[in-house]
Structure 1
Amino acid sequence: MSVETNVEANLAAVRARVAEACRAAGRAPEDVQVLLATKTVPADRIAVAVRAGARLIGENRVQELAEKDAELAGLPCERHFIGHLQTNKVNQVLRYVSCIQSVDSVDLADRLQRRLERLDGTVEVLIQVNTSGEASKFGLAPGDALDALRDVAKRDRLTVRGLMTIGLLSTEPEQVRSSYRALRDIRDRARDVTGLELPVLSMGMSSDLELAVAEGSTMVRVGSAVFGARR
């Protein structure tokens, strides 16, 4: 099987998984978007997926955004940044993406705001929350998320679209679901307390997207299920 056929078949299989998970949860399949996590994936393979209909691409590293830009810039896809963003990389990342899914501090929001004022631009953001409590993961503590949402939403160059989390690394499905349920609960409380509409819940990956969809995910980040194991 050629690389092109393999990627296309895998993408179709992921879409079928999402559709089945939505049906099982009583949701419409079109309510959940698939974002391709493309860390270490060569640009030509990403381009195959885009030609097969993928429209959301997520990169973890600013350097890879820059390296792949020449080949991907003209394609009909939207690029997001989904990795931990250091403040000294803000200027670079804004050249390439329409959404930053990993805003995990007010300081980072301030840095983005100042740079966008100079550029006279805007960017969509998601607030990253560490709902699993694992020290290896970035993100705000759940108890700090509402205050951070209020603060970030005051910055006119940032459009807060929702929340992002990385699920608990566990073989126990209910524990993984609990980490996703926590993000949905934060979204619901934020809507009730602040009036913010947060339509995006970015949660769920190749191994656990069904659990995330069951808990309300509107965007799953899938890499290995489409491109194979990461090099």
Structure 2
Amino acid sequence: MQDIVHNLDVIHQRMKNACLQSGRPEDAVRLLLATKTVSEENLRFAVGQGEVLLGENRVQDGSRMAEKIKDLPVEWHFIGHLQTNKIKEVLRWATCIQSVDRTDLVEKLDQRLQFEQRKTDVFVQVNTSYEPSKFGVEPEKALDLIREVMRYDTLNLKGLMTIGLFSAEAERVRKCFQVLAGIRNQALELGFEHLELSMGMSGDLEIAIEEGATIIRVGTAIFGPRVYPDSFYWNEGSVKPTGNSS
């Protein structure tokens, strides 16, 4: 458990330093814990350290863990590729879906939410690296998808999400985050007062924060390596993207 304490301290210090160097308030960025394969014990411990924002990539795993720790005051986001046949299940525990990336998903979400007579928060996921192995709407089509989301009263657009290019070349990674920030700026002209940017992980969080991230997603750098590669946990039955997912 002391490893988790140490790792959380390291990540939060990196976040703080990046905010200060960018001229942003220290509390401008939230940490989302990527919970893939994390045990209930470790997750409860992390929540006990003050972490309340959790993100899961797989619907079934999220359902199980959300039930196990339903006594804790946490906020669950879904951050993986969402198949339309899993919408009903994910809405049982996730208060926000960060991976809305196509029109048919928007339509099916609306249908289910209308049936349940409620709303939910969503992020539009953008494939800013243009990698065919990654999910997300193409940057050129992002505003059209945002406008589509805006058509539905059941969907509350809270922000945009992307996975940066997994590269040692910092400026190539930075470009991904700049693209997302640019789309956000265009979207604000549609009438939004504020839109969050969910971008940046353990390997590139400083760059993401410099470019305006408000949420960073970190998993293995806090809880340790997983049994399977990240690609195994990213989605349920679709194309497996490459690169760093937390």
How would you bin the TM-score normalised by the shorter chain?
Answer: over 0.9
Q: How many pairs were matched up?
A: 227
The offset of 1:189, in angstroms, is: 1.1
* Separation in structure 2 between the aligned mates of residue 87 and residue 79 of structure 1, nearest angstrom: 19
Given the alignment of the two structures, is residue 50 of structure 1 paired with residue 51 of structure 2, yes or no?
no
Q: Percent identity?
A: 48
2:27 counterpart residue number? 30
Instruction: List alignment gaps of at least 5 residues for structure 2.
Output: 228-246
Aligned partner (choices 198, 204, 207) of residue 203 of structure 2: 207
**Corresponding residue for residue 130 of structure 2:** 133
Amino acid at match of 1:218: T
- Structure 1 stretches lacking a partner, 5+ long: none
Query: Does residue 94 in structure 1 map to residue 94 in structure 2?
Result: no
> 1:230, CA displacement in angstroms?
2.0
TM-score (norm 1): 0.96
> Shift of residue 58 of structure 1?
0.2
Indicate conservation of the 8 Å contact 2:188/2:195, yes or no: no
- Offset, 1:7: 1.2
Paired letter, 1:111: K
State the secondary structure of the residue aligned to 1:31: coil
Question: In structure 2, which of residues 71, 74, 89 is the aligned counterpart of residue 74 of structure 1?
Answer: 71
Task: Report if the CA contact (8 A) 1:163-1:198 is conserved.
Answer: no
Say yes or no: does 1:17 pair with 2:14.
yes
Distance 2:148 2:67 in 1: 36
| Match of residue 145, structure 2, among 136, 145, 148 | 148
CA contact under 8 A between 1:34 and 1:221: conserved in structure 2?
yes
Deviation at 1:120, TM superposition (A): 1.2
Q: Please say which of residues 197-206 and 181-190 is displaced more in the overlay.
A: 197-206
Give every structure 1 segment of 4 or more consecutive aligned residues whose post-TM-superposition deviation is greater than 6 Å. none
Which of these residues, 214, 223, 230, is aligned with residue 226 of structure 2?
A: 230
The normalised TM-score by structure 2 is 0.90
Rounded to whole Å, the distance in 1 between the matches of 2:127 and 2:208 is 15
Match of 1:123?
A: 120
| Counterpart Cα distance in 2 of 1:49 and 1:148 | 35
Give 2:106's match in structure 1, choosing from 100, 109, 116: 109
- Kept after mapping to 2: 8 A contact 1:160/1:198: no
